[in-house]
Structure 1
Amino acid sequence: MLIFELMNDGGPNSMQIRQHIFNFLLANEHKCVSLVSHFLKNDTKILYILDERNIIWGVLSVSVGGQILHCLESDSILPIVQEYFSYAKPQKLFSIIGEKKYTDAIAKIFLKLYGTVPKAVNEYSLMEYNQAAAEESLLANANDHKKQAFLSECEVFTCKDSDFDALFPIQKAYELEEVVIDKNSFNEKNSRILLRRSIQDGGVFGVKYNNRIIAKASINAKGEKCIQLGGIYTDTTLRNRGIATYLVKTLTQQFKKDGKTIVLFVKKVNVTAINVYRNCGFVPFTDYKINYY
């Protein structure tokens, strides 16, 4: 086996190799939507591992900012990955993201080669929407008339630039609670830039009640056939009213009409959120892990 960097020189051979990699990623897309998104945008270095039969066993992306995304299919390719990073060390390492098994393996490689230790580690369940599970959940859960009355006055909408000022406090609260490692390191300027960009891309959704935004969700990554939901957050003063369930169910049905597979990942310790997603028809299918450096 050998590891190669995808060269985008526009030649016939380059196009053929790119299609070969794309086919591999499509077969595994539900567990690596962010990697597929970067591959489609052509905005990161793409590495692929090939055996003597021309079969791909793994793909990684390495960004300028030091984010490593991976989709690997065998422990046997790990020595090849280690050999590559022994002579092609990224200028910086920010995060390693993907299936837990291989995030751990790549982290061990960087520890062995460079003594690199993560500053923070988050473990998740990667979940996928399943229609049968959604229908079963609907039958098992009795309607709460009080919640239904409240939700009947709520509206799910696609956020626009004009919603930015009303939406940002929700986004900031989400990042402080769920994303940043050290709350003192929260960069409000960067947060504002990224939120505005996401809104302009049409990937942010809100829930409005009494003309006030009380919850939000976003498309974290968009692949060829898959959408990864994330950033799901409800105002702390209005929790336990079914708002997150209402939001996720509404978006899921919208994306299913477009023929998309919907996935999301949730912290394993967040039992409340896991139950919300189960009630929406999401089923865990693998462990997911992010190491931050």
Structure 2
Amino acid sequence: MQAANCPDAKALFLQAQTFLLAEEKFNCALMQRILNEEESVFLILNTDSDKKDAPCPVQIAGVFSYNIGKSLSAFIPDMNEEIKKELALFFKDKKIHSITGESSCVSKLEAALCNVNFYKERRARELFLMEQTCGAVCKPAFGVVKECSLSDGNLLMPLQVAYDTEEEISPWKKIPPAAERMVLDKTLRTLTVFGIFYKDTFIAKANTNAQTKNFVQLGGVYTKKEFRGKNLAAALVCAIAYKARAEGKKTILFVRQKNISAIRSYTKAGFTLAGNFKIVYFR
């Protein structure tokens, strides 16, 4: 069921928030879409026949988001045979370019949908979820930590392009510069971006990419290669986490499991390992 099109949409979105709350840290982007009551949010429902006269006579069995970019993220605690059939029916005429979420949930989703769509290639990215469990103050070796605004877009753009290229944000597909700039400008307008300003330009950046009532999800961390190993990433992460704590929120981030240097940097900034996350790309 598409939550936004339900007559009791408000009640359903509130139920979905409660349903996802225990796993919110793994599903910040999904929770943000629920909070915004977006049309990309779908619910898997168990109808309670004993409460047909109630304003919202349903029980949520799962929630997922499927957007125009054909990206799927979901929280489905009990992937039973009935739910597998419902998912297969829903996606039988739809393409999926990526599945994101807690590792075991992604594996179950992929298994449930393996016979629905055929893809020639698959690429999986294994990540750690890290959560800041103690506040830390990290100062960069040089430069100034600055909270960025829309007017900083031109100076930040080279870092954005380099980040997308190095991290392979969209495997098998090159993102047009105009699209990258639109994403950057939207991030500067609606989220939080910090940069290290040095000699009239930015040499490192980091931003939030999702915010909920309880968590801030951090991403887009990038430092120019010639400035790495100078505590710049840790300084940016600390700055964003400090702002989040002032708002009563915890900070999380994802890091590739093989990126030992980044894990060390985030550990210095007070982050600890909190779980496994996976992104699977298809084409």
Say yes or no: TM over 0.5: yes
| The structure with more helix, counted as a fraction of residues | 1
Q: What is the RMSD computed on CA atoms of the aligned residues?
A: 2.4
Report the CA distance shift for 1:181/1:61 in structure 2 as closer, same or farther (over 3 A).
closer
Paired letter, 2:64: L
1:93-104, aligned counterparts within 5 Å? 93-104=96-107
Q: Tell me the residue number matched to 1:218.
A: 207
1:208-287, aligned counterparts within 5 Å? 208-287=197-276
Indicate which of 33, 43, 50 corresponds to 1:48.
Answer: 43
After TM superposition, give the deviation of residue 184 of structure 1 in Å. 6.9
Does the aligned pair in 2 maintain the 1:126–1:285 contact within 8 Å? Answer: yes
After TM superposition, give the deviation of residue 282 of structure 1 in Å. 1.1
1:194-213, aligned counterparts within 5 Å? 194-213=183-202
Q: Tell me the residue number matched to 2:162.
A: 173
After TM superposition, give the deviation of residue 43 of structure 1 in Å. 2.6
After TM superposition, give the deviation of residue 211 of structure 1 in Å. 2.7
- Please give the secondary structure, in 1, of the residue aligned with 2:230: coil
Does the aligned pair in 1 maintain the 2:129–2:252 contact within 8 Å? Answer: yes
Indicate which of 73, 80, 83 corresponds to 2:82.
Answer: 80
Does the aligned pair in 2 maintain the 1:36–1:224 contact within 8 Å? Answer: no
Report the CA distance shift for 1:67/1:80 in structure 2 as closer, same or farther (over 3 A).
farther
Counterpart Cα distance in 2 of 1:118 and 1:100: 19
Report the CA distance shift for 1:182/1:290 in structure 2 as closer, same or farther (over 3 A).
closer
Paired letter, 2:148: C
1:121-200, aligned counterparts within 5 Å? 121-131=124-134, 151=141, 153-182=142-171, 185-200=174-189
Q: Tell me the residue number matched to 2:51.
A: none
After TM superposition, give the deviation of residue 42 of structure 1 in Å. 2.5
Of all paired residues, the percent bearing the same amino acid is 26
Does the aligned pair in 2 maintain the 1:158–1:202 contact within 8 Å? Answer: no
Deviations 1:155-211 (A, max 9, x none): 222222221111111111111111345577242221111111111224222111233
After TM superposition, give the deviation of residue 228 of structure 1 in Å. 0.2
Paired letter, 1:126: L
Please say which of residues 194-203 and 51-60 is displaced more in the overlay: 51-60
- Please give the secondary structure, in 1, of the residue aligned with 2:116: helix
Does the aligned pair in 2 maintain the 1:65–1:92 contact within 8 Å? Answer: no
Paired letter, 1:110: L
After TM superposition, give the deviation of residue 99 of structure 1 in Å. 0.6
Report the CA distance shift for 1:26/1:244 in structure 2 as closer, same or farther (over 3 A).
same
Does the aligned pair in 2 maintain the 1:122–1:267 contact within 8 Å? Answer: yes
2:3 maps to 1:6:
yes
1:115-126, aligned counterparts within 5 Å? 115-116=118-119, 118-126=121-129
2:14 maps to 1:19:
yes
Give 5+ residue unaligned stretches, structure 1: none
After TM superposition, give the deviation of residue 55 of structure 1 in Å. 4.8
Query: 4+ residue runs of structure 1 moved beyond 6 angstroms?
Result: none
Does the aligned pair in 1 maintain the 2:3–2:39 contact within 8 Å? Answer: no
After TM superposition, give the deviation of residue 117 of structure 1 in Å. 5.5
Equivalences, count: 272
Structure 2 length normalisation: TM-score?
0.87
Q: Tell me the residue number matched to 2:70.
A: 66
